[in-house]
Amino acid sequence: MSTVIKNGTIVTADLTYKSDVKIEDGKIVEIGPDLSGDETLDATGCYVMPGGIDPHVHLEMPFMGTYSSDDFDSGTRAALAGGTTMVVDFCLPDPGQSLLEAITRWDNKSQRANCDYSFHMAITWWGEQVFNEMEAVVRDKGINTFKHFMAYKGALMVNDDEMFASFSRCAELGALPLVHAENGDVVATMQQKLLAEGNNGPEGHAYSRPAEVEGEATNRAIMIADMAGVPVYIVHTSCEQSHEAIRRARQNGIRVYGEPLIQHLTLDESEYFDKDWDHSARRVMSPPFRNKKHQDSLWAGLQAGSLQVVATDHCAFTTDQKRYGVGDFTKIPNGTGGLEDRLPMLWTYGVNTGRLTPNEFVAVTSTNIAKILNMYPKKGAIMVGADADIVVLDPNKEKTISAGAQQSAIDYNVFEGKHVKGLPRFTLTRGKVAIYDGEVRTEEGHGKFVKREPFQAVNKALSTWKELVAPRPVERTGIPPSGV
Ligand code: URP
Ligand code: ZN
Ligand code: ZN
Ligand code: ZN
């Protein structure tokens, strides 16, 4: 059974050209004019692009006394409806739990996925067992990325000594550390001060996490990674202070990546000052939304290349779950949705405004991610031999975002009422048509785990350089007699 996408314009991270695409057994087998196959998808007037990859999602995440409400079924259905064909979730061991045991739990949950997926491993505690198991995680389980939370004191947070030890281990294993960069000690102190002063509403969340706590932690993480001799990836970069630290480090030759979220690019801090408690609480996430100055910085970073990818950090809680924090904003589960909306929102606010070219759009939603996470060109490419994870985007198709029409399991959408133009006509996951002109044809369990190899080119280059400049005793021609 073969499928041909006909009459479209292929858009990759570096090329735009008219061609048909033929797919067999889940892979792209031919690219050229006048192709035919058993099934034809008409892409007239559309762009044929690598499906979106979301490098940062939390499906059914155990967090703040509850579980995020989109699981691997509803979450990946939402992804496909919005043109995203792969997600990367975070495997979170309990304190003291074996990393390998945690993977078994995540393997069970992910059996329901409608599209392909991979995992990052979180370092939630530190000890000899973690140090030892990191090797099996990389070598046997195909997970080459390790997440570190500098925030969430008393829960997921790790300290600087643990981070340095883990980063050093990542360097040895050819893995890439990821960091949630906020100064958890300062946040915890500010939270208590705000509560004591009677600031217990959702606006307290924003007040307790100013841009400085993120900028400081970002810089610290980058410097620690540099000392450990490993590249580093900063998740949900939301502000100029953090972007500035990344930009400066990159200009000094340090290998660091920055990941803005579609939420931070398009929603601002005024959401936390809404008169409606539910409205503001539904938008509580860390880091919080910021003002226009920060948004402009993030857009500029995508244009300049100092920020490389756009994610969602999809972590969806229902209104009832958000209400755990009535009277105490520190108990509002942190997280927002976005999986179905990332591509249409970025196309509308990025490409349709002229901030991004279509090729840059593909780079930041798919190709750069595949390269950084070391799964290119299996993913993130329209190329013979690549997986047929494809979005056929119709630039004239439009809608107004509404929770009533979404795939996500929650009862609201943070982008409610936004008008978007640029929507999938078709989404294909390994050749299977999952979205057909608005019709959802997803298949629970179709998704497969994607193993990722260590020692990406950047790790190799950096370890070669670090080895060259490593401390060495000077070979001297003459040693004077000892003074004693
Ligand atoms: O508020 C957020 N971002 N929730 C999800 C967990 C995390 O910090 O990424
Ligand atoms: Zn985070
Ligand atoms: Zn996250
Ligand atoms: Zn299938």
Per-residue pLDDT of 55-66, as tens digits, reads: 999 999 999 999
Question: In the predicted model, what is the mean pLDDT of the chain?
Answer: 97
**pLDDT for position 483:** 83
φ, ψ (nearest 5 deg) of residue 400: -105, 125
Give the Å distance between the CA of 459 and the centre of ligand 3.
24
Stretch 212-235: mean pLDDT: 98
Give the Å distance between the CA of 130 and the centre of ligand 2.
21
Is the pLDDT reported for residue 11 higher than 90? yes
Q: How far apart are CA 326 and CA 49, in angstroms?
A: 44
Is the pLDDT reported for residue 241 higher than 80? yes
Is the pLDDT reported for residue 278 higher than 90? yes
C-beta 5 within 6 A of ligand 1: no
Give the Å distance between the CA of 421 and the centre of ligand 1.
28
Report CA torsion sign: 351, 356, 359, 360: negative
**pLDDT for position 224:** 98
Give the Å distance between the CA of 76 and the centre of ligand 4.
14
54, 58, 150, 339, best to mutate for ligand 1 pocket (most atoms within 8 Å of CB) = 58
Largest CA distance in the chain: 89
27 contacts 388 by C-beta, under 8 angstroms: yes
DSSP per position, 419-479: EEEEEEEEEEETTEEEEETTEE---TT---B----S--HHHHHHHHHHHHTS------S--
Structure-token pair, residue 478: 């003459």
Stretch 146-163: mean pLDDT: 96
Q: Give pTM, 2 decimals.
A: 0.97
Rg of the chain over Cα atoms, rounded to whole angstroms, equals 23
**pLDDT for position 275:** 98
**pLDDT for position 194:** 98
Nearest ligand atom owner, CA of 155:
1
Q: Could you tell me which residues are beta bridge partners of residue 286?
A: none
Give the Å distance between the CA of 333 and the centre of ligand 3.
12
The residue nearest atom 8 of ligand 1, judged by CA position, is: 286
459 contacts 174 by C-beta, under 8 angstroms: yes
Nearest ligand atom owner, CA of 148:
2
Burial class (CB within 10 angstroms; exposed 0-12, middle 13-18, buried 19+) of 353? exposed
Q: What is the percent of the chain with per-residue pLDDT over 90, rounded to a whole number?
A: 99
Q: How far apart are CA 349 and CA 56, in angstroms?
A: 21
Is the pLDDT reported for residue 232 higher than 90? yes
Is the pLDDT reported for residue 345 higher than 90? yes
**pLDDT for position 461:** 94
Stretch 375-401: mean pLDDT: 98
120, 149, 334, 410, best to mutate for ligand 1 pocket (most atoms within 8 Å of CB) = 334
C-beta 335 within 6 A of ligand 1: yes
Tell me the domains of the chain and their CATH numbers.
50-378+394-419+447-462 (3.20.20.140)
Read off the pLDDT of residues 30-73 as tens digits, 9 standing for 90 and up. Answer: 999 999 999 999 999 999 999 999 999 999 999 999 999 999 99
Read off the pLDDT of residues 281-303 as tens digits, 9 standing for 90 and up. Answer: 999 999 999 999 999 999 999 99
Q: What is the percent of the chain with per-residue pLDDT over 70, rounded to a whole number?
A: 100
The residue nearest atom 9 of ligand 1, judged by CA position, is: 313
Structure-token pair, residue 84: 């995203």
200 contacts 329 by C-beta, under 8 angstroms: yes
Read off the pLDDT of residues 393-405 as tens digits, 9 standing for 90 and up. Answer: 999 999 999 999 9
Peptide bond into 287 cis (omega under 30): yes
Is the pLDDT reported for residue 167 higher than 80? yes
Q: Which string of b and e fits 324-337 if b means at least 16 CB within 10 Å?
A: bbeeebbebbbbbb
SS3 162: helix
C-beta 285 within 6 A of ligand 1: yes
C-beta 286 within 6 A of ligand 1: yes
Stretch 172-196: mean pLDDT: 98
List all residues 6 or more positions away from 380 whose beta carbon is below 8 Å from its beta carbon. 13, 50, 53, 366, 367, 368, 369, 370, 371, 386
Stretch 109-118: mean pLDDT: 98
Is the pLDDT reported for residue 484 higher than 90? no
**pLDDT for position 272:** 98
Give the Å distance between the CA of 170 and the centre of ligand 3.
20
CA-286 nearest atom, ligand 1:
1
